[in-house]
Amino acid sequence: MNIPKVFVLILSYNGVRWLKGCLPTVLGMDYLNYEVVVIDNGSSDETQSFLRANFPQVHILALKPNRGYAGGFDAGLEYAADLGADYFLVMNNDTEIDRHALTALVDAAEAQDRAGFVTGKVYFHDRRDVFQSVGKKDDPIQGSGDYIGYEEKDAGQYEAMEERAFVDDVYTLVNQRLYDQIGGYDPQFFLQCEEFDWQLRAKKAGWKIYYTPHAKLWHYGSVTTGGVGSPINNYFLERSRIIAIAKHKGWFHLFRYLVWSGSQALYRLVGSIIKMNRHTFKPRLARLLGILSGISWMVHRKPAKAVPELIRKLS
Tens digits of residue pLDDT in 229-245: 789 989 999 999 999 99
Domain chopping of the chain, boundaries: 6-219, 231-314
- Please give the Cα distance from 108 to 173 (Å, whole number): 10
Average pLDDT over residues 27-34: 98
Tens digits of residue pLDDT in 193-233: 999 999 999 999 999 999 999 999 999 975 554 456 789 98
263: Cβ–Cβ under 8 A, 6 or more apart, which residues?
A: none
Average pLDDT over residues 38-49: 94
- Please give the Cα distance from 261 to 110 (Å, whole number): 40
- Spelled out in words, what is the top-level CATH class assigned to the domain 6-219? alpha beta
pLDDT in the model for residue 224:
52
What's the pTM value of the predicted model, to 2 decimals? 0.90
Average pLDDT over residues 296-315: 86
What is the overall mean pLDDT for the chain?
93
Nearest C-alpha neighbor of 69 from the set 314, 315, 303: 303
pLDDT in the model for residue 223:
53
